[in-house]
Amino acid sequence: MRTVLVYLLALAALAAAALFGLDGLTETTEAAPERSRGSSPPPVLVIEVATAPFEDVLSALGTVLANESVEVTPNRADHIAAIHFEDGQHVEAGHLLVEMQADEERAMLGEAEALRDEQRIRYRQQQELHADGMTPQRDLDNANALLQAAEARVLGLRAAIADREVRAPFAGTLGLRRVSEGAYVDPSTVITTLDDLSVVKLDFTIPEVWLPNVSAGMTIETTSDAYADTTFSGEITMVDTRLDPRSRSATVRARLPNRDERLRPGMLLKVRVERGQAPVLQVPEQALIPVGEQHFAFLVGDDEIARRTEVQIGRRRIGFVEILDGLGTGDHVVVEGITRVRDGTPVQVVEVLAPGKGI
């Protein structure tokens, strides 16, 4: 009997404990919304979406080329008799650089010039005799033919001697001398290099989508690591007619003044080409929330409720992103305090930033 009584008392105690726990849970559950409703909304900064100029700039790397460039080589194989230039010398077009051995040709030229002078005298004598009727036309023609042959012989020897001289084909700056007097050279021997650096060419590539916006006459700005504080300006002269089938890019050539010759062939320049500043709808980068390939922004209305809105973005520049769809002029989007904002919840707008201002 005592065992049954103890068992009944234990059951009553368990029921009372369960009832008390349920009441406490109910009280806690009912109190939670009260505390939630009593919490203040997160403070945020918003910015007004507006249309503003959007500078579209292409950055590329270009290689400097000389305006004119050539490796100076001899026309014939022979020994060098004399060198008439120094390393790095600036020369004009036609300047004599190297003389090859031509003693035999000069001796033959002297003989040919003497024969030519003799034939000239004979021709003049025949002209006088023919004018007096003392010689037939045949003798005059024969004297004229001998004179022409002698003159052709002189011209041929002079050309042979000139062929043994190496001259600058255009005005420019010479490179290092690579030969010495007495050296045996042939047409494959590089004597030196010659570059016209008063103006340099710059080749760089642009993507296919930029083709409609890049044309001859456009101005470019370039910089070099060698002259970090200097900007070199130039002008586009040509866009190649063919694209690289692998990269789908086109080569662009520009010309840059280089009077001080600081730019050298082979240098790497950073190129900046502006496509224009058309006004577009844009927001600061901080206003966007990337989710995979999608982008969202928190749109805040007059009721100060944040609503997550999907947006379509376009081009980017430092600090700002072009908006193609999802927002309109005059909308307010959250740019500061965004981590505490939830879709459909109220926010406390601390300040409305002016359009175009970044954080």
- Give the pair of three-digit tokens for residue 44: 């945020």
The whole-number pLDDT of residue 243 equals: 94
pLDDT digits (tens, 9 = 90+) for 154-192: 999 998 898 999 999 999 999 999 999 999 999 999 999
* Whether residue 240 has pLDDT greater than 80: yes
pLDDT digits (tens, 9 = 90+) for 134-163: 889 998 899 999 999 999 999 999 988 989
Residue 127 sits at the vertex; the CA angle it makes with 122 and 130, to the nearest 5 degrees, is: 120
Task: Yes or no: say if 64 and 90 are a contact pair by the CB < 8 Å rule.
Answer: no
pLDDT-derived band at 275, boundaries 50, 70, 90 = low
Helix, strand or coil for residue 268?
A: strand
Report the 3 state secondary structure along 272-312.
EEEEECCEEEEEEHHHCEEECCEEEEEEECCCCEEEEEEEE
Task: Yes or no: say if 224 and 232 are a contact pair by the CB < 8 Å rule.
Answer: yes
d(CA 141, CA 355): 96
* Whether residue 29 has pLDDT greater than 50: no
The whole-number pLDDT of residue 276 equals: 63
Angle between helices 137-162 and 103-131 (to 10 degrees): 160
pLDDT-derived band at 357, boundaries 50, 70, 90 = low
Percentage of residues in the chain with pLDDT exceeding 70? 87
* Whether residue 3 has pLDDT greater than 70: no
* Whether residue 294 has pLDDT greater than 70: yes
* Whether residue 34 has pLDDT greater than 50: no
The whole-number pLDDT of residue 53 equals: 79
d(CA 229, CA 93): 35
pLDDT digits (tens, 9 = 90+) for 100-140: 998 888 899 999 999 999 999 999 998 988 888 888 999 88
* Whether residue 57 has pLDDT greater than 90: no
d(CA 104, CA 118): 22
Helix (H) or strand (E) holding 316: strand 306-317
Compute the Cα dihedral for 177, 181, 182, 188 and give only its sign. positive
What's the mean pLDDT in 313-332? 87
The whole-number pLDDT of residue 358 equals: 52
* Whether residue 255 has pLDDT greater than 80: yes
Task: Yes or no: say if 68 and 172 are a contact pair by the CB < 8 Å rule.
Answer: yes
DSSP bridge partners of 220: 234
pLDDT-derived band at 20, boundaries 50, 70, 90 = very low
What's the mean pLDDT in 91-104? 93
Question: Concatenated DSSP letters for 90-138?
Answer: EE-TT-EEEEE--HHHHHHHHHHHHHHHHHHHHHHHHHHHHHTT-S-HH
What's the mean pLDDT in 304-323? 88
pLDDT-derived band at 22, boundaries 50, 70, 90 = very low
d(CA 269, CA 266): 9
Residue 301 half-sphere exposure, CB side, CA atoms within 13 Å?
8
The whole-number pLDDT of residue 356 equals: 60
Closest CA to 230 of 266, 258, 199: 258
pLDDT-derived band at 24, boundaries 50, 70, 90 = very low
270: CB partners within 8 A, 6+ apart: 59, 60, 61, 62, 222, 223, 224
The whole-number pLDDT of residue 58 equals: 80
* Whether residue 49 has pLDDT greater than 60: yes
The whole-number pLDDT of residue 44 equals: 92
d(CA 237, CA 32): 73
